[in-house]
Chains A and B, each alone.
Chain A
Amino acid sequence: EDKVVQSPLSLVVHEGDTVTLNCSYEVTNFRSLLWYKQEKKAPTFLFMLTSSGIEKKSGRLSSILDKKELSSILNITATQTGDSAIYLCAGSLFGGAGNMLTFGGGTRLMVKP
């Protein structure tokens, strides 16, 4: 069965800190790994990673995939209170109608002022 595991489950930091969120996956016919941020409502897309070792960056957020280790990390530098959210990673696989995502359990990040 496909499985995605995230760590830590939750994290409390202060503004300005740097955090690293981890995601490991066991997904057959793996195609890509996605990161989402979920605040109060719908998950919003952050990154999609398909190739190993290529960092994707968006402002203070960055992410990289390691296909050898079947893992990915999401880094957030100079954290702000607005970064408080649940961060979800998901593995997607080839085949079938569209793209079935298998989500991890999420990391709940709280950034204190």
Chain B
Amino acid sequence: DTAVSQTPKYLVTQMGNDKSIKCEQNLGHDTMYWYKQDSKKFLKIMFSYNNKELIINETVPNRFSPKSPDKAHLNLHINSLELGDSAVYFCASSQEIGSGRAVNEQFFGPGTRLTVL
């Protein structure tokens, strides 16, 4: 029944490693997002993606790359992890095109807590 799911829930890794976080939504939404929430609980958009367009927040390092194998998945791949990448990463989804309902409402996944040692 989970609408937006993420795996893993927790990820502990060493600096310099490459890791991926997976996200799946079963809501039939056409747009997915990745957010980063830092230790001060500040939530910041990283990417917005639908099947037509990827929008990247310009502050996101190019070590971060979203990969979407299909409409229901948007995975986050991170190269050469750094200490400052430690945070909680949230995936979200929304229906943006012609839904007739609250098109701005985004549904969030449970988050992945990434710790870089």
Contact = CB atoms under 8 A, between A and B. Distances in A.
A99 B41 contact: no
A106 to B, nearest CB: 5
Contact of A100 (B55, B102, B103, B105): B55
A60 interface: no
Contact of B42 (A31, A92, A103): A103
A105 B40 contact: yes
A34 interface: yes
B108 A100 contact: no
A38 B41 CA distance: 10
B88 to A, nearest CB: 9
Contacts of A38: 41
A97 B45 contact: no
A49 to B, nearest CB: 10
Interface string B21-55: 00000000011110100001111110011101111
A11 interface: no
The residue in A86, A101, A102 that gathers the most chain B C-beta atoms within 10 A of its C-beta is A101
B53 to A, nearest CB: 4
A101 B54 contact: no
B31 A45 contact: no
Nearest to A43: B108
29 contacts: A31-B104, A42-B90, A42-B109, A43-B43, A45-B105, A45-B106, A48-B105, A86-B41, A90-B43, A92-B104, A96-B48, A97-B31, A97-B49, A97-B50, A97-B53, A97-B54, A98-B32, A98-B33, A98-B49, A98-B55, A98-B96, A99-B31, A99-B48, A99-B96, A100-B33, A100-B48, A100-B55, A103-B35, A103-B45
